[in-house]
Amino acid sequence: MAVSRSGFSSRMGFIMAAAGSAVGLGNIWGFPTQTASNGGAAFVLVYLVLAFCLAYPAFMAELLIGRYGQANAVTSLQKMSKTLWQKRFAFLVGFGGIICAALILSFYGIIAGWMMSYAIEPVLKLASFETGASWVVTHSLTRNLMFTSLFMLATIFIIRHGVENGIEKWSKRLMPLLIVLLVLLSSYVFTLEGASAGLDAYLNPDISSILDPNLLISALGQAFFSLSLGTSVMVIYGSYISKKENLVTLGAQVTLIDVSIAFLAGLLIIPAMYVAQAQGVTIFAEDGSLVSGSSLVFTILPTLFQSMGDVGLFVAFAFFVLMSIAALTSSISMLEGPVSYAVERHNLKRETATTIIGLIILAFSMVIVFNLSFMLDLVAIISTQYGQPIVAMLCCVFVGWIWHRNDVLAEIKEGNSDVEHSVFWKIWPWYTKFVCPTAIAVVFIHSL
Ligand code: PHE
């Protein structure tokens, strides 16, 4: 049975959806946290270079694979394979990405659930429901199970509505809101005492730490996670774009939005930490490094919000709503990878596939919740530090070594007839063939 495919209705729809996938907890939580734990501005600088020089080319590879294949990750990769072993390899890479997306969603949903619970706290406080307010921000099995389920149900709800009425519609609503909230919050933080010291730590690089291998690895991992690479997500989003669109420009625009929002989030969080310090909160660990990880978002920032009095309730609400929105536009893309596969390869109805796969992932999240202390980190490491770089590297290998060169060039030319005169045309095919896989492999092996 041939399934008629839907897709994004407009260029803007694609940009919002792809940027929605890219911009998530990785930008607003991960990037500032990594910046804080890797010596501030030096990390920012290395991240910017790697995002544009390595992550963007790999991102283009995934988008092009999807648009060429006009199908889920496995089918798209198989369309460019000629021999039997190439087709098997295509299955491995495509399905690997899908599993990776599902694994990421299973732990991402838990953290996103915490963001939602922290967003509800100020509301309960305003309603003078103190017991409820303290319950939602206290770690407990019931709280975690409840909010993870709530978040996953929201994700399932959107994906059941399909590409145009689900992903595109909600990304177009939520992304502008996210940007407005981020700008308002950081402008407010700038007016507070201590913010300028934070700006200094964020923007003045200590050049000597730039070549630190740990910093390089963290920055590359962060860039790949942020652009949702190696998870089949950008392949499937690429497959929903019309052949009339100029993919090279669209990809660059999404990368730019993703990087800018991470940068903006840093402008909010790092100064906010120094504002907290000016108010007596400890922001440095014993070894002199800035506090990072979950204590940054779930301890330091709430303390800061509390010290603001009543305004703090509104600021806290805005901040955690921002986090929840960012997480939701990412989680829907993670679910779309496996769902599109089930719909297109196994002829399942979208609604059925979404509900079944969503609930299986939720069940796995619950297993993690029951074993939080050891499973959360484990699943995160397996999927993001191993899975993503390997699959992303193999996608580049596919484009460089298996996909017929003339077909690659023809696909780049779709919607972009002048591309032959551009730097992208001259450099990218060669770059994806040699530089990307080697660089990713080197950094990956180094990280072991
Ligand atoms: N890019 C998202 C973020 O920054 C996370 C993500 C990873 C989304 C993988 C989809 C796939 O939070």
Alpha-carbon dihedral 52, 53, 54, 56, rounded to 10 degrees? 40
| pLDDT reported for residue 217 | 82
Alpha-carbon dihedral 309, 315, 320, 324, rounded to 10 degrees? 160
Distance 383 CA to ligand 1 centre (A): 11
CA distances from 412 to 18, 29, 81, 407 (A): 18, 34, 18, 9
Distance 168 CA to ligand 1 centre (A): 17
Radius of gyration of the chain (CA): 21
Tell me if residue 144 falls in helix, strand or coil: helix
Rounded distance between C-alpha atoms, residue 412 and residue 223, angstroms:
23
Distance 208 CA to ligand 1 centre (A): 30
Under DSSP, the state recorded for 7 is: -
Contact 26, 258 (CB under 8 A): no
Q: For the chain, give every domain's residue range.
A: 21-447
DSSP β-bridge partners for residue 284:
290
CA distances from 12 to 15, 78, 343, 356 (A): 5, 29, 25, 30
**Ligand 1 binding pocket, CB closer than 6 Å:** 21-22, 24-27, 101, 104, 225-226, 228, 231, 233, 330, 333-334
Under DSSP, the state recorded for 420 is: G
Rounded distance between C-alpha atoms, residue 214 and residue 202, angstroms:
18
Distance 233 CA to ligand 1 centre (A): 9
Residues in the chain: 448
Phi then psi dihedrals of residue 371, to 5 deg: -125, 45
Rounded distance between C-alpha atoms, residue 442 and residue 437, angstroms:
8
Distance 132 CA to ligand 1 centre (A): 31
Both structure tokens of 378: 């484990």
Contact 215, 42 (CB under 8 A): yes
Single out the residue of 27, 417, 388 nearest to residue 243, CA to CA.
Answer: 417
Single out the residue of 73, 166, 155 nearest to residue 359, CA to CA.
Answer: 155
Contact 361, 105 (CB under 8 A): yes
Phi then psi dihedrals of residue 308, to 5 deg: -85, 0
Please identify which residue in the block is written with the tokens 């990776």: 100
DSSP β-bridge partners for residue 290:
284
Phi then psi dihedrals of residue 290, to 5 deg: -70, 140
Q: Using CA positions, which residue lies closest to atom 10 of ligand 1?
A: 228
**In sequence order, which residues have a C-beta less than 8 Å from that of residue 82 and are 6 or more positions away?**
402
User: Is CATH 1.20.120.1200 what the domain over 21-447 is classified as, yes or no?
Assistant: no
Which of 21, 98, 388 most suits a substitution to test ligand 1, by most atoms within 8 Å of the C-beta? 21
Contact 354, 335 (CB under 8 A): yes
Distance 297 CA to ligand 1 centre (A): 18
| pLDDT reported for residue 2 | 43
| pLDDT reported for residue 4 | 57
Both structure tokens of 407: 């077909």
**Per-residue pLDDT in tens (0 to 9) along the chain, 448 residues:** 444 578 999 898 999 999 999 999 999 988 988 888 787 888 999 999 999 999 999 999 999 999 999 999 999 999 999 999 999 999 999 999 999 999 999 999 999 999 999 999 999 999 999 999 999 999 999 999 999 999 999 999 999 999 988 999 999 888 889 899 889 989 999 999 999 998 988 888 777 778 787 888 888 889 999 999 999 999 999 999 999 999 999 999 999 999 999 999 999 999 998 998 888 888 888 777 777 777 788 888 888 888 888 889 998 999 999 899 999 999 999 999 999 999 999 999 999 999 999 999 999 999 999 999 999 999 998 999 889 999 999 999 999 999 999 999 999 999 998 999 999 999 999 999 999 999 988 877 877 7
Q: Using CA positions, which residue lies closest to atom 9 of ligand 1?
A: 228
| pLDDT reported for residue 3 | 47
**In sequence order, which residues have a C-beta less than 8 Å from that of residue 147 and are 6 or more positions away?**
113, 114, 116, 117, 136
Q: Which atom of ligand 1 is nearest to the CA of 327?
A: 12
